[in-house]
Amino acid sequence: MIQLFLPLNFLGFVYREIRRALTDLENMLGLLKRKPQITDHPDAAELQLKKGELQFAEVSFGYQASRPILRQLSFRVAAGTKVAVVGASGAGKSTLARLLYRFYDVSAGSIRIDGQDISRVTLDSLRRAIAIVPQDTVLFNSSIRDNIRYGRPDASDEEIDHAIELAHLTGFIASLPKGDATEVGERGLKVSGGEKQRIAIARAILKRSPILVFDEATSALDSAAEQAILQAMREVARNHTSLVIAHRLSTITDADNIIVLKNGELAEQGTHDELLAAKGEYARMWQLQQKQQH
Ligand code: ATP
């Protein structure tokens, strides 16, 4: 009996596995068939880049209609300047970056680059104009150099070397047994959060986009790692219009303008000194973070 039972049991297992695989395939094909939410407008034109000025004009947005995240938010990032966005966790800071890269469309208002509404330009030309340094960078199972080259695959060797230098990765790479040929990613060398962000900065340098979005990692970094990132960012910001989503106020005291978000609205804006003097929301956040550090 057992001789018959075992093969039948095995056949049952094979049958269930095949059925599950077919269902997975069906789900996947369904996903592929579903129209992507964000597509080019029928009249979309190529983004005409001039100086790289960025403007949020009366922008409202919610992931669900019932829960607004941003309410009529307006601010401008003049070409070549650095604007920081701060606010409590969940205030909507990273949402601004997602809207700018058009992972979602605004519910009302508009986002403009050099005067052009981003919902009316091709996604391809929009995303070429913006380099994002995300909170958590994905590294491929390949060498560090290939991971950096990913920023612009046709970059020359000299350009990659220069990006490595500007991103303050030279010392780190020199400390590795195989230098920039060292394999990283899931199956290679584990890279720290700070090193990953500097690899992302090197990618952004290579991409040569006029607009840079830096989403600062929430995880705490030791002060040496933070200083290395800050120096790298300063180098990059020199030639870019930059929007910095900041969690630690100490990293953005040099910003040309600081936007303070509260409940999806612009609570106040100004330079670090102006906001401290105003003794409002920013000044309270600053005092709190100063206390936490000591
Ligand atoms: P943090 O400082 O913690 O990174 P944040 O200010 O960047 O926060 P966002 O990530 O912009 O906040 O999120 C704003 C709000 O939107 C949060 O309440 C969050 O839960 C919600 N949210 C974010 N992403 C989604 C999503 N994909 N679907 C639904 N709600 C979301």
User: Of the candidates 107, 93, 26, which has an alpha carbon nearest to the alpha carbon of residue 62?
Assistant: 107
ipTM of the predicted structure? Answer: 0.97
User: Of the candidates 116, 175, 120, which has an alpha carbon nearest to the alpha carbon of residue 144?
Assistant: 175
Alpha carbon of 177 to those of 18, 25, 87, 173, 189: distances in Å?
Answer: 46, 43, 42, 9, 11
pTM value is 0.83
**By alpha-carbon position, which residue is closest to atom 18 of ligand 1?**
90
Quote the pLDDT of residue 185: 82
Quote the pLDDT of residue 34: 54
Structure-token pair, residue 261: 């978000």
| pLDDT tens for each residue of 109-164 | 999 999 999 999 999 999 999 999 988 888 999 999 999 999 999 999 999 999 99
Q: Using the mean position of ligand 1's atoms as its centre, give its distance from the Cα of residue 38 in Å.
A: 19
Specify the range with the lowest mean pLDDT, choosing from 12-26, 51-65, 258-272. Answer: 12-26
- On the question of pLDDT at 18 being above 90, the answer is no
SS3 call for 59: strand
Ligand 1 proximity of 94 Cβ (cutoff 6 Å):
yes
Quote the pLDDT of residue 231: 83
Predicted confidence band of residue 251 (pLDDT cuts 50, 70, 90): confident
Predicted confidence band of residue 6 (pLDDT cuts 50, 70, 90): low
Quote the pLDDT of residue 5: 60
**By alpha-carbon position, which residue is closest to atom 30 of ligand 1?**
63
Q: Using the mean position of ligand 1's atoms as its centre, give its distance from the Cα of residue 100 in Å.
A: 15
